[in-house]
Amino acid sequence: MSNFDRYQINEELICKVLLDPIRRGANKLIIISGYVSHNMASWHMKRINEESLPPVKISLIAGMYPIEGVNVDLHEGLKDLVNFRDDRYSSFECKYIYQGAPVHSKVYLWMKDDEPFIAFAGSANYTRNGFGKLQREYVVECDPIEAYAFYQDIESDSIVCNHSEVEEYIKFYKNQKISQVEHDIKHSTLEKVTLSLLTSRGDVGHGSGINWGIRRNGTKREPNQAYISVPVEIARSGFFPLDKTHFSAITDDQKQLILRIEQANDKALTTPLNNSLLGEYLRNRIGVANGAFVTKEDLERYGRTDVTFYKIDDEQFFMDFSV
């Protein structure tokens, strides 16, 4: 199996369960899933937008965490999506089962004007693997009334992920892979790539890279919009997932960014739900005002003109912009 095959999505399953009901008038999706991924939720929200479908409300219940606990990076990623506000995109809410028996079910219930409309049940978690081709999953249509009754039965045992007292009910633990990163970097055991923030001419550009949102011709764009250029040999190497797959990068200053590879020839690394998030982050790190044009001198003054990514696994990376 090639690196590219590993990242391919199960398009038939995605359309059937996550997209087509919107075309039939559904406007809310209730998901009950044993295991979940904020990268999957981010990708789903972006895909609905790119299909020119109307935004919907996505309500997720994560079921298998009352005993196992929740990875802090997953928790922060889910909260970021809950707090994300953009009328162009679907809204997102997330709850954890915190009492009673854990819930291992995978149910996708579509509502139309607050009434059960279409439902699916099967083996696919709301994760990239669940809707990818690396695993074989089986999902079938089921009775939406019965699915809604099941949701009502377990919803009272859940707590919203951004509840002020959630830590009293759910155990959170640090990602051991992240904790191991510094050791692995020191001993050069992690696969890595370094991406330049400069153009091939050794300078910064207008309307590209870190200054993607600032155009010479005065075209109005959000000035913080930015991407990091990815050379074709790195794009084709399988280091980053392709097919517009969303993945996470934990930064050296303990921030989290959801990223994807996009544009022609997979040449750009972006923050897909909001292209300005990457530009805001980089400007903050180098001490440049929000929305300001970034010069080569700004980067050199900070001490770096490149960013290094270390691959932890297929969904998570460590982004080093330290000096």
pLDDT at 182: 66
How are beta strands 247-251 and 316-320 bridged, if at all? Answer: parallel
pLDDT at 5: 41
Q: In the chain, which segments carry CATH 2.40.330?
A: 177-320
Quote the pTM value. Answer: 0.90
Over the stretch 198-231, which tens digit does the pLDDT of each residue have? 999 999 988 999 999 998 877 778 999 999 999 9
**What is the tally of helices (H) and strands (E) in the chain?**
11, 16
The DSSP line for 240-307 is S--TT--EEEEETTS-EEEEEEESGGG-EEE-TT-THHHHHHHHHHHT--TTPPPPHHHHHHHT-SEE
pLDDT at 205: 87
Q: In the chain, which segments carry CATH 3.30.870.10?
A: 3-173
Residue stretches of the chain with pLDDT short of 50: 1-7
Over the stretch 95-152, which tens digit does the pLDDT of each residue have? 999 999 999 999 999 999 999 999 999 999 999 999 998 889 999 999 999 999 999 9
| 3-173 under CATH 3.30.870.10, yes or no | yes
Rounded-to-integer distance, Cα 194 and Cα 189, Å: 15
| 177-320 under CATH 2.40.330, yes or no | yes
pLDDT at 4: 37
pLDDT at 1: 33
Helix axis angle for 72-83 and 38-50, nearest 10°, is: 30
